[in-house]
Structure 1
C-alpha cells in the first residue's frame, strides 16, 4: 500500500501567466532524506515491511539512486524532509542496517507535473475547481469545449495539453457556431499544427476525414458498437445520416450489407474513401442526398439492385485450407456446416434496419416513412418481402431528465411525426448527457405496417 506523503510536491504558483506559457519558471528543489546503504542491501530495504510507509513513492521519481560519491553505495529516497518525521521503528531499523541518513535535493521541473497541476498553478483560484484538462481525442487532434470563463487562457491551456500528451499534434476548441446545413461544429486552433485531416481508428476500422468539415464525436464510440451488435451479419442496413461511416463500416465488417447516405458532400467523399480503405466496397453503397429522399428511395434500390447473399465470415488461410479439404471429401463435413448453409441464401433485397443518427433533427424526418412501401411497390407488391417490418433506430435529444418523462416526450414526438402509435418492440436507450439539461437517447421501434403502407 502506498504511503501517505508528507512532502509538498505541488508546482510553484504563477497566476500572472495567462497568455504565453513560460515553462522554465516551473522549477522546484525539495530536500528529502535518503538512506545511504551498500548496493547489496537495497533490495532488502525496499522489501522491508518496516520501511514500506517511509519510502519515496512519487510518480516519475526513482526511489533508488547511485551515490554520486561512491559507486558501491546507493541512496534509498524517503518521503520526508526531516529526521523528526521518521517513526522510532524506522530509525531503529536504519541503525540496525548501518544506514547513513543524508539530504538529497529532488529537482522537479515543468515536465514532472501533470496538465491539471500546471493549470491549477496558473489559473485564478476561482477557476481551478473545474479546470479544463479533459478533452476528446480524434486521430491526432485534441478537441476541447471550453466554457467562456476559460477563453482568456485558451492558448496557454492548449499549449499545456499539447505538451502533456505526446500523441496529440493539434489542439482545437469548439466554437458556439454550428454549420446550419451539415451540422458539424466550427472550431479554432489553440496550439499545434493546423492539420485537420485525421486518421482515426475505432472498432477495428480506419476512418480518414477533415475534422473541420464533417461531424465526428469520439464519445459516441460505445453507441456505435452497441447498435452494430444488434445487427445480424445477414441484415441490410439503411444508414440515413451516415457521416464518414462510424455505423456503416463496422456493420459491413460484420457482414451486413449497407446503404450509407449523407447530405454533406465532404462526408460522402470521405465515406467513399473509408469504404475502400476498409475493404468493404462490395458491402457498402454510398450516396449523397437529402435524408428524406433517401428514405423514400432506398427500399426500391434494395429491391431493384439487391446485395449478394451473405456468404459467412471471411475465412483465415487455415479455414480456407479446411474448406478445400471438405470439397475433396477428405475431412469430416461438420466444421463448415454453417458456412455451406449461409452460402445457399437468396440475394438480400429487404431493408431490416434504418439508422438515423442525427439527434438534433432525426425525428423530423420520420414522416418520410409514411407510404414508403406503397411508393416502392408501385411496380410490384413488396408485402411478401416485408412480412417483418424494418427496425428504426432514431437518435434524438430531450430536455426531460427523468427517464419516464424523457420516454413520454420522445415517444410523443415520434408518434406525432409518424402519424401512428408505437405499439410493439419499442425500446429507449440513454446514450449520454450532452449538457446539464440535455440528454441524448436512441429510440428503437418496429416500423408500423400501417405507416409504411399509408396512402
Structure 2
C-alpha cells in the first residue's frame, strides 16, 4: 500500500479577534520540522528523479525542495522531504537513502505572513462560523456578517497584491438614473480613476461614477466577434466603450451613446486614446431618443467605407518599413448609411426601450432612407429574468420583448445566457432581426 505523506501548511489560527488597527502579521509564523537528505551538490538531480523518492520529496508551493547545507554550503545540499520522522518513509525510500546519500538530518522550514494567499489569511482571521463563506479575492463581501471585518479584509488584499493601491466595498445603493453602484473606500488611497485593459483596448474611468463589470469581458468579445468590419454599430448604452471601442478597432463604424455625462466624458477620452476617433461618434442622449434619431443620422452623415480592421501600432510600423499602405477608411468605397447592429447593454431596463423602434422608418419623405434598409438591423438586448430554467427564461424574455415591440419575433432570434447574477436571477442577451413591420409601423 502506498503511503500518503502530507505536511500541514495551512496558516495558524489568529489569536483573538483581528481588526485593522491591531492586526499582527507576525502571528502568521509557522515552523515545519522535517527531515532533509544530505547529499553532494552533483547528486541532487538524481535524488529528485529517483522513483523511490517520488512520494517523499517536499512539494509545497513557493518552497524550493533543495537548500544549501549550512555545515558545508560549498559542496553539500539538502533535499527537503515532506516527513518529520523516517518511519513515515517507505522501505524502498529508506534503502535508497542508505546506499545513495549521506543520510538524513533534521531541518526547519519557516512559513510567514507573506507565504499565504489573501484567501487563506482572510479565513484564518475570521471567526470560525464565517470561514466557509468568506469573501474570495476581489469578490463583493456579500453577507452583512462580514461588514465588521471589511477594512481588515481590504488591508489584507492590499498586502497580498502589491500593484493594487485602492480597495472599495460596493454598497447596496444604486444610482437611480445612471445605474452604477456606489462605493466606499475600505483600504488604500482614495484614487478611484483606473485604467483597465481588455481585448487590446485600454479604458480609463472613475469607477465611482460609471458602470463597469470586468466579469462581462467574455460577453464584450462575443458580441464584437459577430460584427463585420463594414458594419455600422449603434451602441445605445455605451458606458465608457467596452463594446464600441473594440468594434471600431475591428473596422466597424460606431455611434456610441450614453445618458451619463461622466460615462460620455471617459468614453470620448477612451476613443481618443485608442486611436479610433475617425470611427466613433459619441453622443449623450436618452436611449429612446438616440434609437429614433440614429437611423436618420447614419443616413444623412454617413461614415466612409472601410477596407478592413485598423492596424495596431506594431502593424503600422511594419507596414511603413515595407512601404505598404495600411488599410483605412476610404472615400473611394460606398459610404456606410445603414445601421447593422444595435447593442443595448442595460439589462435592468433595456427591454423597456424597445418601443422606440416602432415607426423609425415610417416617414413619408422620399429620400432613400427607407430603401437603405432592405435588410433590417440586428438588435442585441441584454436583460434579466427570474426564470432559471432555459425554456421558461426564453418564454419570459420573448413575451416582454414582443410586448414592447408590438410584434412577434420570427427571424434570426437567439438567446444567450451571459451569467448568473444572483440566486434566481440570470442575465441574458436576446438577439433578433428587427421586424420590418415594427420599423414601418405608423404606431
Alpha-carbon RMSD: 2.1
Partner secondary structure for residue 271 of structure 2:
helix
| Mapped contact 2:310–2:328 kept (Cα < 8 A) | no
1:299-378 matched pairs, under 5 angstroms: 299-314=295-310, 316=315, 319=319, 344-375=332-363, 378=365
- 1:283 corresponds to: 279
1:34 to 2:45 alignment: no
1:124-163 matched pairs, under 5 angstroms: 124-135=127-138, 144-163=140-159
1:411 to 2:398 alignment: yes
In the aligned structure 2, how far is the partner of 1:204 from the partner of 1:268?
A: 21
The Cα of 1:24 is off from its aligned counterpart by: 1.1
- 1:387 corresponds to: 374
Partner secondary structure for residue 308 of structure 2:
coil
CA 1:98–1:202 in structure 2 vs 1: closer, same or farther (change >3 Å)?
A: closer
The count of residues paired between Structure 1 and Structure 2 equals 433
| Mapped contact 2:296–2:369 kept (Cα < 8 A) | no
In the aligned structure 2, how far is the partner of 1:454 from the partner of 1:435?
A: 38
- 2:89 corresponds to: 86
- 2:57 corresponds to: 55
Partner secondary structure for residue 157 of structure 1:
helix
| Mapped contact 2:249–2:310 kept (Cα < 8 A) | no
The Cα of 1:118 is off from its aligned counterpart by: 1.3
- 1:99 corresponds to: 102
Q: Deviations over 1:26-81 (max 9, x none)?
A: 11111100111121211111111111110011111111111111122111110001
The Cα of 1:322 is off from its aligned counterpart by: 6.9
- 2:185 corresponds to: 189
What TM-score do the two structures reach when normalised by structure 1?
Answer: 0.91
Unaligned runs of 5+ in 1: 137-143, 326-335
1:175 to 2:171 alignment: yes
| Mapped contact 1:312–1:342 kept (Cα < 8 A) | no
The Cα of 1:91 is off from its aligned counterpart by: 1.1
The Cα of 1:134 is off from its aligned counterpart by: 3.0
In the aligned structure 2, how far is the partner of 1:15 from the partner of 1:298?
A: 63
| Mapped contact 2:250–2:310 kept (Cα < 8 A) | no
Choose which of 398, 413, 417 in structure 1 pairs with 2:385.
398
| Mapped contact 1:133–1:161 kept (Cα < 8 A) | no
| Mapped contact 2:305–2:329 kept (Cα < 8 A) | no
CA 1:22–1:340 in structure 2 vs 1: closer, same or farther (change >3 Å)?
A: closer
Partner secondary structure for residue 35 of structure 2:
strand
CA 1:145–1:306 in structure 2 vs 1: closer, same or farther (change >3 Å)?
A: farther
- 1:430 corresponds to: 417
Q: Deviations over 1:347-385 (max 9, x none)?
A: 01111111000000000000111111124x646242210
- 2:19 corresponds to: 19
What TM-score do the two structures reach when normalised by structure 2?
Answer: 0.93
CA 1:253–1:98 in structure 2 vs 1: closer, same or farther (change >3 Å)?
A: closer
Higher mean alpha-carbon deviation, 151-160 vs 277-286, is at: 151-160
- 2:430 corresponds to: 443
